[in-house]
Homo-oligomer: A and B are copies of this chain.
């Protein structure tokens, strides 16, 4: 059929067997201002009872944005929000009141510290869902975790929503957790304390995804956003464990040109990074790259020419955030690129080795990082599962026991990372290799004296009298998911 379209042309409505729509008119487009107050933005986003609001945790203990947003939601009289933060810290203690007031009734995201302690004793009607960094990205990507409104803190943003964490007084390093929220959420709000001219120079999040831009006085407390410095452990026991890690890498033959390393930000991990740098120097080798959380220690090795490339994710100190602002062109590694289980490849799968921690380890090499031995849920999973499954040599650094508590034990309180992907337990009493890794055992023969995991457990039990029995109720506090979305373990409320 021929019809006259809005341009005055006679147009077929069916061309080569396909129905087509005639032109209806053109107009000039102008982008309406995206600037709004937080309250206006939430209302314009259609905030309703029961919705899911997401946040990133890159402002860490300095974050103002999560509390500020939930305060506003409370003022708007909205209830039963599901909070889908990437992580929560002690600064988020007001969450306890939001829960008590019914503003929040579900949490899917990592919880560290006081809020975890509270929920451990007062479970929510829906258990907390704990996922790894990659697992959370995958859950949002696959709509397992649908976000209604993503609230993204930025240390600089233009009025159309191009934004970054690299520049500004509240700089925290590249935004690397929120890309998938920006892409998948129904609505996206950027919150910044630093409105810059268009276009924002760095833009980890692009305006194409952003509905509203909210300017506030402070997105956080700069002193607590990133540590001023990240300190290497001064504890000789921990230094010893760190040296053992580097010794094991060396014995396995990993410390060579082209080595690929994941650096962590814990005290022992930082020490491992430092000692690895020294070892590279001593052997005159150049590692290919370091990924993961970046600190001054990593940059020092890079500057010394011993890491050929940096591949930045989250910055753990101010120095590294500043370094990235001053050295544009270093590729930024967002969490999807790092560990999205549904991606066509994950950066973590390149790793030769990773050094991770744990609150407990068991004789099946299962690792717990989420709960303490008293049953309280006090930590998130982070990249633990992602890197453990990606690295060729996954090392867990723990003391065999802490005071009266055996860390190496028969059964971890909660499984965070299954023993199948854990290769070595590096302790103050020796190194145990997962018997499944015959290749590693073969390589270190004659170079390192290994101990069995049962021996480590026995040492722990002898020194402490064994683990304290805890009685659990049926109530579920939280669940740990493997990054494919399946349930690894259930965290139950302790009988009080």
Query: Which residue of chain B has the shortest Cβ distance to A325 in the bound complex?
Result: B329
B486–A23 CB distance below 8 A: yes
A24–B486 CB distance below 8 A: yes
Does A127 reach chain B (CB closer than 8 Å)?
yes
Contact string against B for A residues 462-490, beta-carbon threshold 8 Å, 1 for contact and 0 otherwise: 00000000000000100100101111111
Contact string against B for A residues 397-418, beta-carbon threshold 8 Å, 1 for contact and 0 otherwise: 0000000000000000001011
Does A83 reach chain B (CB closer than 8 Å)?
no
Q: Which of A69-77, A194-202, A229-237 contacts B (4 or more CB under 8 A)?
A: A194-202
Q: Which residues of B contact A8 (CB under 8 A)?
A: 364
Complex alpha-carbon distance, A344 and B207, angstroms: 7
Complex alpha-carbon distance, A60 and B366, angstroms: 55
CB distance from A309 to the nearest CB of B (A): 7
Does A454 reach chain B (CB closer than 8 Å)?
no
Q: Which residues of B contact A345 (CB under 8 A)?
A: 31, 34, 160-161, 207-208, 210
Query: Which residue of chain B has the shortest Cβ distance to A8 in the bound complex?
Result: B364
Complex alpha-carbon distance, A5 and B488, angstroms: 7
B208–A490 CB distance below 8 A: no
A29–B390 CB distance below 8 A: yes
Say which size band chain A's interface belongs to: 35 or more
Does A203 reach chain B (CB closer than 8 Å)?
yes
Contact string against B for A residues 22-34, beta-carbon threshold 8 Å, 1 for contact and 0 otherwise: 1111111111001
Does A90 reach chain B (CB closer than 8 Å)?
no
Does A55 reach chain B (CB closer than 8 Å)?
no
Contact string against B for A residues 299-342, beta-carbon threshold 8 Å, 1 for contact and 0 otherwise: 00000000011010000000000000000110101001100100
A486–B22 CB distance below 8 A: yes
Query: Which residue of chain B has the shortest Cβ distance to A9 in the bound complex?
Result: B489
Does A15 reach chain B (CB closer than 8 Å)?
yes
Does A80 reach chain B (CB closer than 8 Å)?
no
Does A12 reach chain B (CB closer than 8 Å)?
yes
**What is the oligomeric copy number?**
2
B199–A7 CB distance below 8 A: no
B16–A127 CB distance below 8 A: yes
Question: Which residue from B30, B162, B208, B389 sits with its C-beta under 8 Å from A26?
Answer: B389
Does A125 reach chain B (CB closer than 8 Å)?
yes
Q: Which of A95-103, A247-255, A267-275, A346-354 contacts B (4 or more CB under 8 A)?
A: A346-354
B208–A340 CB distance below 8 A: yes
Does A451 reach chain B (CB closer than 8 Å)?
no
A11–B489 CB distance below 8 A: yes
Residues of A within 8 A of B (CB): 5-9, 11-12, 15-16, 20-31, 34, 125-127, 160-162, 188, 197-203, 206-211, 288-289, 308-309, 311, 328-329, 331, 333, 336-337, 340, 343-350, 364, 366, 385, 389-390, 392, 415, 417-418, 420-421, 476, 479, 482, 484-490
Offer 26 A-B interface pairs, CB within 8 angstroms, sorted by A: A7-B366, A7-B488, A11-B487, A15-B127, A16-B476, A21-B485, A21-B487, A22-B486, A25-B420, A26-B482, A27-B420, A29-B346, A31-B350, A34-B344, A34-B345, A160-B350, A161-B344, A188-B344, A197-B309, A199-B331, A199-B333, A201-B309, A202-B329, A202-B331, A208-B343, A328-B329
9 closest pairs, A vs B, by CB? A328-B329, A208-B343, A31-B345, A16-B126, A23-B486, A26-B418, A26-B420, A31-B349, A21-B486
